Amino acid sequence: MCRLVGFQGSSPVDLSYAILQAPNALIRQSRCDQTACKPNEDGWGYASWAGTPKIVKEPTKPYDNGQFATLGNEWYDRVVVHVRRASVGRAKRENTHPFQLGQDLLFAHNGSIYGFEKVRDHAYTLLHPDLKEQLKGQTDSEYLMMLFATHVRTLGDWTTKDRQVFRHAVRKTVDDARRLGDLAKSDKPPKLNFMFLTKQFLIATRVIHTLGYYPNFSGGTLITSEPLDERDGWTGLDEETMLVLGPGGHYEVMSF
CB 198 within 8 A of CB 104: yes
Pick from 204, 207, 209: nearest CA to 244: 204
* pLDDT for position 90: 79
- Residue 79: per-residue pLDDT: 98
Higher pLDDT, 225 or 231: 225
Find the length of the chain: 256
Name which of 52, 53, 34, 47 is nearest 82 in CA terms: 47
Q: How confident is the prediction for the chain on average, in pLDDT?
A: 96
Cα–Cα distances in angstroms (integers) from residue 229 to residues 21, 202, 224, 232, in the given order:
11, 23, 11, 6
pLDDT in tens, 2-44: 999 999 999 999 999 999 999 999 999 999 988 778 898 999 9
Residue 42 near residue 141 (C-beta atoms within 8 A) = no
Per-residue confidence band for 53, with pLDDT thresholds at 50, 70 and 90 = very high
The reported pLDDT for the residue numbered 35 is 79
pLDDT of residue 246: 96
Higher confidence at residue 230 or residue 206? 206
Domains detected in the chain? 3-255 (3.60.20.10)
Tell me the one-letter amino acid at 10.
Answer: S
164 Cβ contact list (under 8 Å, min separation 6): none
Mean pLDDT of 65-78: 98
Q: Residue range 95-117: average pLDDT?
A: 97
0.85 cut: is pTM over it?
A: yes
Distance CA 133, CA 135 (A): 6
How high is the pLDDT of residue 1? 73
The pLDDT of 64-73, averaged and rounded, is: 97
Count Cα neighbours of 119 within 13 Å in the Cβ-side half-sphere. Answer: 19
Mean pLDDT throughout 62-78? 97
Q: Where are the alpha helices (DSSP H) in 73-183?
A: 116-124, 129-132, 140-155, 163-183
| Integer Cα distance of 171 and 219 in angstroms | 30
